[in-house]
Chain A
Amino acid sequence: MSSPTPPTIRLQIEFSGGLELLFSHTRKHTVNLPSTVPNSTRPADASYLILYLRDNLLKERPELFEEKGTVKPGILVLINDTDWELEGEGEYELKDGDEIVFISTLHGG
């Protein structure tokens, strides 16, 4: 007997470089993300996660996080400690237990 597909996947989300200020001033979050994009059969990917976080977790100034369906310039996305560009960027299909880190690049010194 096969078990039904779980409706959500559990992700560890972390913000740094000042992005945590937009998310309740909290660096680490656990997010239960719908495993498919609502009203579609598309599996939840990194692009969907960005919009989901913007709509459900972000507390202020959304323009500093999301732009044109992806992260704002100057933000690096890491999937399990690897630059998301090596993982397919927005098309990366999220798996239960993945750790996604959003880092704002710093300029100061």
Chain B
Amino acid sequence: MASSPTPEFPPLDLPEYKRYGRQMILDGFGLEGQQKLKAASVLVVGAGGLGCPALQYLAAAGVGRIGIVDHDTVESSNLQRQILHNEETLGLLKVDSAAQFVRRLNSLVQVTTYPNALHPSNALEIMRPYDIILDCTDNLPTRYLLSDSAVALDKPLVSGAAMRFEGQLCVYNLNASSASSTSPSATPDKGPCYRCLFPTPAVGGGTCEEVGILGVVTGVIGNLQAAEAIKIILGKNEPKPSLLLYSFLYSPPFRSIKLRGKKANCAACGDAAGGGGIDFGNMDYVQMCGGATPDWLKEGMKAGSAGSRVTPQELKSAIGTDCNTVILDVRPRTEYGICSIEGSTNIPITELLANPSSALTSIAPSGDVYVVCRLGNDSQLAADALRQTSQEVGGDVDGGRKVVDVIGGLRLWSRAVDEKFPVY
């Protein structure tokens, strides 16, 4: 017969003993550990590269109640890292695709989906019913919003981030009273919130779509977020704040950093904030972080000033009629190596802007110059720089050489001129 469970936690049903037995026999986990998981609730914000692996292990371990927040739909470019989604769930809401996976994996888990973007007007309401919040988002404004909300609700925030070959993991607002099992008189010092570490938002920084991300990197960090959440539920988390760095490329791949504690003058969690935190209603998080990220696809399609930009079809006919046409591709070398227009020359945008006159002399000395890039944004900067340089050095020495750039970049080139040209 099963021993009588600890009364403050829900009892386990018979099949659960078998299902979770491998972890329940661990010293320090036991029956009580499983009951704590069953009683626990975790909100995963973002069902992408970080959220997917986190959800998978939280559900498998038997966390009783899981919420999933995401307003996006599944695209094929997600599948390289967002492992709960699959070819059959393309086009579905990510929350529905992820919930479907979680229910198939473990029908005992109670799943709630929120197909919303997190916003100051809904954040507290969505987060309130959960013990622990996982930040699996992909943008800075939401990271600040989550941190401020976690402070206001006094909940620990397990934050993951990843870009290129690197990932970062940190638990904010640690030892929040709601998660601490110690008696009030012995409450350990509170950990920092996101604002304690980064009082001023960093503007810029790029997205995974722009600079790339390796799937296993989000996998490592997402798994670690699940591990930290489970540790907090079991009361086994490290009380001292630290930041963990992971790099796919370096050996050893992990590095842990000792962090400052909560900052007394923090605008969100500091003493001056009086424990009430930030005034949400009046906070424009997007503006605070430097304004909305431009829609680069749309920006690249703008007509531009007269005579400065041409369509892909115009480039196509120029190639056909003038054998001196110079196609200058300003994407990074690695992207150029993926696919390029035949006969084009590659000078990456950073090198070109650093020294436009050297770029101008390194390409063929005559013929009109057509600048291309991925979406048609960098090419505008490059063409502007080349035109300006050409004017400064006397211009038109070779008989009115034209410098233009291609609207919509190679993305539109593929759609309008050469459908066999890869889109990545």
Contacts and interface: CB of A to CB of B under 8 A. Distances in A.
B163 A108 contact: yes
Interface in B153-211: 160-164, 166-168, 197-208, 211
B50 A16 contact: no
A108 to B, nearest CB: 4
Given A106-B168, A108-B163, A73 B201 contact: yes
Contacts of B247: 16
A55 interface: no
B138 A107 contact: yes
A86 interface: yes
Contacts of B143: 107
Interface stretch (B30-38, B255-263, B381-389): B255-263
If over half of B's interface residues share one DSSP class (helix, strand or loop), that class is named, otherwise mixed; here it is mixed
20 contacts: A17-B163, A18-B164, A73-B198, A73-B203, A75-B202, A76-B197, A76-B243, A76-B257, A81-B258, A82-B258, A83-B257, A83-B259, A103-B245, A106-B161, A106-B162, A106-B167, A106-B205, A108-B162, A109-B138, A109-B218
B139 A107 contact: yes
Contacts of A32: none
Contacts, number: 94
B198 A109 contact: no
**Most B CB atoms within 10 A — which of A27, A74, A106?**
A106
A105 B202 CA distance: 8
Interface string A64-83: 10000000111110100111
Interface residues of A, number: 25
B205 A104 contact: yes
A61 B247 CA distance: 24
Interface in A90-109: 101, 103-109
Contacts of B346: none
Contacts of B197: 76, 105
A16 B161 contact: no
B200 to A, nearest CB: 4
Q: Contact size class for B?
A: 35 or more
B376 interface: no
Interface in B2-54: 46, 48-51
A74 B166 CA distance: 16
**Most B CB atoms within 10 A — which of A18, A75, A109?**
A109
A76 B202 CA distance: 11
A76 B354 CA distance: 27
B245 A109 contact: no
Interface of B: 46, 48-51, 136-140, 143, 160-164, 166-168, 197-208, 211, 213, 218, 243, 245, 247, 250, 255-260, 350, 354
Nearest to A72: B202
A16 B198 contact: no
Given A16-B245, A17-B166, A107 B258 contact: no
B205 A109 contact: no
Nearest to B142: A107
Contacts of B257: 76, 78, 81-83, 101
Given A74-B201, A74-B205, A108-B213, 20 more contacts: A16-B245, A17-B163, A18-B163, A18-B164, A18-B206, A60-B350, A60-B354, A72-B202, A73-B198, A73-B201, A73-B203, A81-B255, A83-B259, A86-B258, A101-B257, A105-B202, A106-B205, A107-B143, A107-B205, A109-B208
Contacts of B250: 27
A109 B143 CA distance: 11
A17 B201 CA distance: 16
Contacts of B245: 16, 103
B358 to A, nearest CB: 15
Contacts of B164: 18
B198 A105 contact: yes
Given A86-B258, A109-B161, A17 B168 contact: yes
Contacts of B211: 18, 108
A64 B257 CA distance: 23
Given A17-B168, A103-B245, A85 B200 contact: no
A109 B220 CA distance: 12
Contact of B260 (A74, A75, A85): A85
Nearest to B136: A109
B258 A106 contact: no
A93 B1 CA distance: 65
Contact of A109 (B162, B201, B259, B350): B162
Given A108-B208, A108-B213, A86 B260 contact: yes
Contact of B202 (A16, A73, A85): A73
A104 B202 contact: yes
